[in-house]
Amino acid sequence: MADYPSLFIYLCLVAAIVAVIVAISGLLSPSDPSPAKGRPYECGVSEPVNVEHRWPVRFALVAMLFLVFDVEALFFYPWAVLVRELRWTGIAAIASFFAVLGAGYIYARSRGALRWR
Amino acid sequence: MVPQGGHVRDASPGFLLGKLADWSREKSLWPATFGLACCAIEMMAASAASYDIARFGSEVFRGSPRQADLLIVSGRVSQKMAPVLREIYDQMPEPKWVISMGDCASCGGVFNNYALVQGVDKLVPVDVYVPGCPPRPEALIDGILKLKADIGKGLR
Amino acid sequence: MALAPEALQAAFPNGAAGLSADDIPYILVPVGDVLDVIQRCRDELGYSRWIDMTAVDDLEAEPRFELQYLLYSMTTHSWLRIKTQTNERVASVTEIFAGANWYEREVFDLFGIEFDGHPNLTRIMMPDDWEGYPLRRDYPIGGEPIDFTVTRELHGDVTLRDERIGGAGAPRPGGR
């Protein structure tokens, strides 16, 4: 079936090339650690900024809703790939899945959760 | 106020590897985006189609200083911006070089006042000063090429 | 159609109306009336859009600062300037125009005029720990002394020692 010996040689080559590159880069690169390099990149303003003001909770709401519906969309992909093999039972299953989440969407919409202001 | 240390060079890795390193650093000099004012427009022009520093190896302006080796300070540096500039410079890994582009970065330019730092060499060590207000893209390219020539010879 | 100065004067008898050099009518009001006047300009006269706010420092005038507010009317397509004079404080108009927030911070930062009722009166342009108000007339220009060879014959002095410019030995305002 698969050509395992070739794959093994290929993987060894990959490991060797990566090792050579990393070794050369380790030899060539100057090392000068400093506290600034350890700090996260925040466009040059690494010291903590006062964030006492409140954020609207709308952001959290949108993030939660996005997460739910994005994962739902994710589940459509495997079904879509196998839609022919799964036949009508597959369509029924995905339709019920869609109906459940659709009910959630209609509820969120009707409660104004998706309205920004 | 002369900054401490200057640039750090690598401890000699051997003649051939050193030559390889110098050659590759010269041919692939990636600037960090540090356009501050009017000179930034000329820097953008230098990287756009007509003048194109990509043909000299500066294909991308890196958004993060962690991935850049050249800091082109193009524009006025105000007192409020000074610590930001120093932080960005500090966050660049060695080897790194600085081009001070334009009069304001080199010496304060026309703005000899309380608001601006009179020359970024008060904050970071500068390798090439490109005068002009603003310097034409050809002038900036000239400065970059001079820097690249020095890097290739291992002088910087 | 711009509001004629006469109409302005009639609307605000407490103030002095006029026409600026750029053909924008202005009304000079006492500092205590600013909130009222701006509210009326927005609601009654229809100047509903906030444009700008600056200050002018005249060392010889009393009061020292002249604040200038610029409003625009979307219906009549004309500008209106409201001027007031103060020595150090004035009421904040952020409740009437939310856009005035940063303009008042700018005037505070550069002139030192305080705005009563401003939600966040802090420096906006200069670094937070800067001392002094740079755009006042008695604030030194700062910078560094210049020594050009071509000016040595002119000025007869090696270093340009202008007391407006800090000079090498003068303390730098702001403490940097």
Give residue-wise pLDDT tens across range A70-101: 999 999 999 999 999 989 999 999 999 999 99
Give the distance from residue B115's alpha carbon to the nearest chain C alpha carbon, in angstroms: 8
Check whether B96 has a pLDDT greater than 60: yes
- Report the C-alpha gap between B130 and B144 in whole angstroms: 9
Residue C104 domain flag: yes
pLDDT at site A51: 74
- Indicate yes or no: CB of C126 within 8 angstroms of CB of B111: no
pLDDT, tens digit, 9 for 90 and up, residues B71-87: 999 999 999 999 999 99
Tell whether B83 lies on the interface with A, counting CB pairs under 8 A: yes
Range of the domain at C27: 5-141
* Mean pLDDT, chain B, whole residue set: 89
The answer, yes or no, to whether residue C98 has pLDDT greater than 70, is: yes
pLDDT, position A30: 82
- pLDDT score, position C62: 87
C167 inside domain: no
For residue C76, tell me if it sits in a domain: yes
**Hey, is the C-beta of B153 within 8 angstroms of any chain A C-beta?**
no
- Which residue in chain B has the smallest CA separation from C145? B112
As for the ipTM of the complex, it is 0.76
Question: Does residue A41 sit at the B interface (CB-CB below 8 Å)?
Answer: yes
**pTM of the full predicted structure?**
0.76
Give the Cβ contact number of residue B23 at 10 Å.
Answer: 13
In A, minimum Cα distance to B34 occurs at: A43
Distance from CA of A21 to the nearest CA of B (A): 12
> C156 pLDDT band (50/70/90 cuts)?
low
Residue A60 to chain B, least CA–CA distance (Å): 28
**Position B3 pLDDT exceeds 60:** no
Query: Is B1 within 8 Å of chain C by CB?
Result: no
More confident residue, A49 or B58: B58
pLDDT of C161 strictly over 70: no
Q: Per-residue pLDDT tens for C114-135? A: 999 999 999 999 998 999 999 9
Residue C142 falls in which region: left (phi positive, over 0), alpha (psi -120 to 50) or beta: left
Which among B80, B115, B118 is the nearest to C144, CB-wise?
B118
Searching chain C, which residue's CA lies closest to the CA of residue B83? Answer: C127
Within a domain: C151: no
**Given pLDDT bands bounded at 50, 70 and 90, which one contains residue B8?**
low
Task: Give residue C158's pLDDT.
Answer: 52
CATH number at residue C42: 3.30.460.80
Tally of structural domains, chain C: 1
Q: Hey, are the CB atoms on A27 and B17 less than 8 Å from each other?
A: yes
Residue C170 falls within a domain, yes or no? no
The pLDDT of residue C173 is 45
Q: How confident is the model at residue B9 (pLDDT cuts 50, 70, 90)?
A: low
Domain assignment present for C176: no
Q: How far is the alpha carbon of B113 from chain C, nearest alpha carbon, in Å?
A: 4
**Does any domain span residue C156?**
no
Strands C78-86 and C65-73 turn out to be antiparallel
Report yes or no on C150 lying in a domain. no
pLDDT above 70 covers what percent of chain A? 98
> Per residue in C52-85, is it b (16+ CB within 10 Å) or e — as a string?
ebebebeeeeeebbbbbbbbbbeeeebbbbbbbb
